[in-house]
Structure 1
Amino acid sequence: MGFGTDNRKTTWGKSIRLALAAGLLGLSGAQALAEDKPKDEPTETASPPSDPLERENPRNMQIGMMAAIGAQDDALLARYIETGIETGKASPEQAAEQARQFRLLLDKAGSIAQRLALPLAAEGALDDGLPPDEEKIGNLTAGGEEIPIIARRTEDDEGRKIWRVSAQTLAQALAAEPPPPPATEESPVDESQRKLVVLGAPLSSWVLLLGVGLTIFAAVVLLFRILYHRLAQQSEDGKPHPVAAIIYAMVPPATLMAIYQTISTIAEPLGMGLAERAAIARLSGIVVWAGATWLAWRLVAVAGDFISDRFRATGHAQRIGMTGFIIRSIRLLILAIAIAAFLATFGIDVTAGLAALGIGGLAFALGARQAVEDLIGGIALLLDRPVQVGDLCRIDGEVGRVDEIGLRSTRIRTRDRTILTIPNSQLSDSKIENLEKRDRFFVSQKVGVSYSAGAEGLARALEVLRSTLTEDPHYIPSICPIRLLGFTDGCFEIEIHAHLRCPSHSEGFLRQEALMLAVLRAFEHEGLEIAVPGRRLTMEPDSARAASGFPGFPPTPNPGKP
C-alpha cells in the first residue's frame, strides 16, 4: 500500500515539474518572439482608461445613478445625465440644477427597472426593440403622461463608451411638468432636520419598516405554530395530517414574502422618494427571494419526510436511501439558484463565475479528489443497491443495520448501538454481505439419541425428525435433509440439514426456533430422550485398581505368604 502511494506521489511530482518546465519554455518562446519583432512595426493604439463611475453597462450605470440620488449629490448625478456640460452648452452649475430638477421629479412619480432586468453587457440588450445604443431603465410620470427613462450609449471626451440618461428624456421630463424652484443659499436646510441615510433611505424608515414587518411576521407564525401543535395532539399517532404539515411549512416563508411585497407596494402612496422606494424594493426583492428559497427548502423537506414514511409503512424501507439522496440534490440546486440570484441583485455577474468553474474544474477535482470519490461511491451504492437503509449487513467483519446512505458516507448502526461511519469510496470497494436479502434460511442442527434407545429407537427418531420437518410449512424439500452422522462417545448423532423459506434474516431465526420446538415435542411424545455427546468417567479407589493389576500399580503383596 505504501509502495503504491509513493509511486503516485512520484508520478504527480514529475507531472508538476514537466508542466512547470513547459510553461517556462512557452514564456521563453513568447519573449524571444517579442524580442525578434521589428522595431519599426507600428504598435497598437492604447485603449481608453476605464470609467471610474462604472458606466460601461446599463446595470452598473443605474446603480451609480441611484447612489447619487440617495446621497442627493446633484453634481454627481449630472454625470449620469446628458446635460450638455460635455459640449459646453451648460455650465457645471446649470448641469447640477437640471439634475436636481430631474431628481425631484423622480422622487415624486418615478420608477426604475429591476437590476436583474438590466444587462451587464456593454452593448446592452439588443433584442428589446430599441436602437442598439439605447436601453430603457425606468419610467417617469410627469404632466399626466408616462415618459420612459432611456439611457443612451455615447462617447465621452476621453473616448470611453458610457451609458447616461439621454438628453431627450431629460428635456421631455422638464417640459412636461414645471420644474421646482431652484435651490437658494438663503434657505439652508437645518442640520437637525437632516436624516441619516442608509442604503439610499432614511434610517428611521428602515427601523419602522423592519420593525412592523418582523412584528407581523412573528405574530402570524406564532398563531400557526399553536394551531399546528393542536392538530398534532388531536391525531392518533401524534403527527399532524400531511396537509397540516404542508400548511405549516408554507406559512412562515409565505408570510414573510407577503409582508415585504406589501411594504414595497405601498411605499409610493406613502410619499417616499425614489431612492427610498428603490432601496425598499431591493430589500423586498432580496427578502422575497430568501422567502422563496426558504419555502422551497421546507416543502422539499416535508415531501421527503412524507415519502419516507410511506415507504416505511408499505415495507419499502430500502428506497429511503435514494429518496434522501434526491432530496439533498434538490436542496443543493435550490441553494445554488438562491446564491446566484442574490449575487445578481448586487450587480455581480454570475455567468463569469460559472465560466470560472470550467477553468477551475481540474484544480477542484485534484484538490477535492477524495470528496469526489466519496460522492461517486455514494451514487454507485444508490444505483447498484448492494445494501439499502434498514438492511442488516456484514462489512469487513462488522455486523450492523444500515442507518443512512449519504452523499459522502454511510452510517451503520452496530449491535452495540454505536454508529459506524464508512466513506462511500471505501464502502463501494469493500466486500458487503447483505444478511437481509435472502429467500431461504439454512438450518444446521445436531440431535443426539441415547445408546439406550437401541436400533429401534434410533429408527423411530429418524422417522420422527423426517415427518416433523416435512410437516413444517416453510420447509423446502431437498435430498437427505435428515442424516445419521455416526456414533459419538455418548450417543447416536443425527444432523438436520435443511432450508426454510423466509423473507428476512430475523424471520429465519424465528422459523428455526419453531422447527426445533416441534422436534422436541415430537421426541417427548414418542418417549425418546435427546442425549448430549459426552464421555463417562468412572472413579475407583486406588486399592481396587492395584488389585486388578492396573498399569502403574503393582499387585499388593500378601503378608501371609513368604
Structure 2
Amino acid sequence: MLDPIGSAGAKLNGVVDETIRWIAQDSADALLGAGVGVAVIAGLQLLLLAVRRLCPADGAGWRGVVRGIADRTLLLFVVAAGLDAATHVALMPGPLLRLVENIFTIALAVQGALWLRALVLFAVQRRIVADNQDSAALGSAVGVITVLVNVVVWLLAGILILDNLGVNVTALVAGLGVGGIAIGLAAQGIFSDLFAALAILFDRPFRVGDTISYGNSVGTVEHIGLKTTRIRAISGEQLVMANTKLLEQQVANLRRIEERRVLFNLRFVYQLHPDVLAALPRELEAIVAAQPDCRFDRAVFTGFGAFSLDFELVFFVTVPDLAAMLAARQAVGFGVIRRMREMGVDFAYPSTTNFTAAPDGRLIDPSAN
C-alpha cells in the first residue's frame, strides 16, 4: 500500500543527504550561492522597508497602491526569491534544485494571487472614494466583488501550483469548466442581474437620487441593489425593477439636464396681413429675450395648416431646474398672448367657413341683403 507520508519523508531525507554532500564537496560554490541568496533577501527587505517609509499607509493614488503591494509581500516569497537567485550562480544537486524550484513556484503563485487581489480591490475602493454619493451602493457590491476575485485568483494560483508540481490538471480544468457551465445555466438570471447591477454602479448611467425616465414611467432612484433597483414614481408608489430589465430599456437621466428646451406651436388666422406675418418672428424673439435665463433659438413659419398659418417658437431655459422651466414657459406664453392682443393678431382654432356664390361663381355677401 502506498504511503505518501513515508515517501515524502524519504525524498526529504534524500534532498538533505545530497545537500550535505554538495556542501562538503564544493563548499566554495555553496558559499557563493548562499551569499547571493542572502544578498537578494536583504535587498528585498530593505526595498520593502523604504517603500513603507516613503508611502504612508493612508496614501492616495499610486503611493497607496505601492504601499498596499509592499504590505502584502510575504516573507516566504522574499526567501524563495533569494533561493531562486542562488540557483543561478551555484551548481546545486538535482534534488535540491527541484525543491527550490517548487518552493519558488508555490511562493510566486501565492504572492501573485495576493498582489492581483490587492490591485483589483484597490481599484474598487478608489471608485467608491471617488464618488461619495454612491459609496453606500458601491459598498453593497464590494462583498460580491471580493468573493469573485478571491475565487478566481486562488483558483488560478492553485492550478498553477499543481501544474508545476507535476500534477495532471487537465481533468481538473475540464471538470471546473463543465461545473461552471452548469452553475451558470442554473443561475443565469441571478448572474445577469448581478452583472447588470455592477454595470449600473460602475458605469454610472444613473445614481441614487437621480430622476430617470424609462419606458412609460418616471421616478427617482432610491436604491440600487445587486438584483433590483427601487424607484419612487412621481405618482408616489415604489417601483421595483430587475436590473437586467431596466438596462434593456432606453433610460433618460433627467437630473443631468443642463438646459431645457421649450417648444410652442402657434397657429394664426389666414386673414393676417403679410407684413404682420413677417414681423412675428422678431416680436416672438423679443418676448423670449425679455425673460431671465432664457435663450432664444428660432421662431419660423412652418407651413399652411388646414385652418391656420403655423409658426414654431423654440427657446431654451438655461437652468436645469424644472420649476424654473415651467415658470419661464408660462411667462413666455402669457407674453405671446399679451403681445398678439396688442398687435391685433388672432389665434386660429379649428373652424369651418361657408361662402355663398352666385351661379357665375362670384361670392355673395350675406350681410348685403
TM-score range, shorter chain: 0.3 to 0.5
Q: Radius of gyration: which is bigger?
A: 1
Higher helix share: 2
Using structure 1 for the length normalisation, give the TM-score: 0.34
Using structure 2 for the length normalisation, give the TM-score: 0.46
